[in-house]
Structure 1
Amino acid sequence: RKGGPQLGREGPGGKGPGEGKKNVRTIKWQAKDPNGDKLIFSVWIKGVNEKNWRLLKEKLEESSYKLDSTALPDGWYHVKVVATDERSNPEGMAKAVEKISDPFLVDNSQPRISELKVEPLPQGDGVRITFKASDPTSILKSASYSLDNKEWQVMFPDDQLFDSKEESFTITLKGLSPGEHTISVKVVDIAGNISSIRKAFSR
């Protein structure tokens, strides 16, 4: 029998329109059969360093699948889609084809903020605030701070680049009035996970 399923891939995407959960990825693919046979699909997943595929869903008729990654450990994964025309052909004559996605990252862990310190400047009415941020899986993407619950201000690492999983930060604030103040800092990784911390201090 000539022909058989033909399968193209788009791969796992991020959060799609109308999806209420941050960690839902929409896996899409394109499929056709030259004979016009009805196709069904199965979706599999494995870590990039694993040998065995794990079945996520079988007997799918749609060419997409929503993967909730909250139950997956952080790391890099492949998804495999298998298309078959078994519903349109006698047993033993069905054909199947599969495609494997590029690696994609699952990161459900929040960044960690540590060593938040507030020190008075040697002279004047200001303070120097320092802290460190790290993430076990992803590169850090952005950071910001808020003084006394005011508008968040964008800040950059000490080396001026968000290019690693660990960064150090320094904020210099001047012109503070005497009394108690609060500083809040917030860090976001490339997967969209957010951490924040708040500290009170007096000048």
Structure 2
Amino acid sequence: MIILHHLNKSRSKRIIWLLEELEVEYEVKPYQRDSVTFLAPPELKQIHPLGKSPVIEDDGLIVSESGAITEYLIDKYGQGKLAPKRGTNAYIEYLQWLHFAEGSAMLPLLLKLFVTKDGCKTNFLADYADAELLKILSYFEQSLTGKTYLVDEQLTGADIMMSMIVESLVNNGSIENFSNLKRYAAQLTTHVALQKAEQVEINYS
């Protein structure tokens, strides 16, 4: 059985969604953030030296990093679901979006979060974060023109990975500024597996 080490209010909800889509048997081992520091508990370091989530265990193998976990699970359990056929242009496009989520897209989101949380005036960082975030979101918005999903008009692991970006926009209200992203966000919520994942996360929060 796959074991998902899940930290509340973290990016690992995407992996719950993925596991539900794959219809594989899994167990969630929940961890709670420190109420003061909001950091992960030290117990997670017993699973992986970085003490971060998500991490999965499968057949004695420990896999970390959301993108790597997504690739691993789809390759092993997908049976043709959630990824285009290897060797196609669509597969290359899929890989780019899959890793865009934690690569290009996540940094400006985190910078914006940290600057806002810190509350101090910055000489450079706040303006840089705003400019980079607008660039990323404008690219994301444009890429969804006339499309239901990011690749091949079907749900893939790329959509699951990018859902974290979408969720952050919904939560802060800025999704209203992007019509394609707003439509896309609504489409993602129609998936029963995502609805189940949200309930699972609530149960472990």
TM-score normalised to the size of structure 1?
0.23
Q: From the CA coordinates, give the structure whose radius of gyration is larger.
A: 1
Q: Which has the higher contact order (CA 8 A, sep 6+)?
A: 2
TM-score normalised to the size of structure 2?
0.23
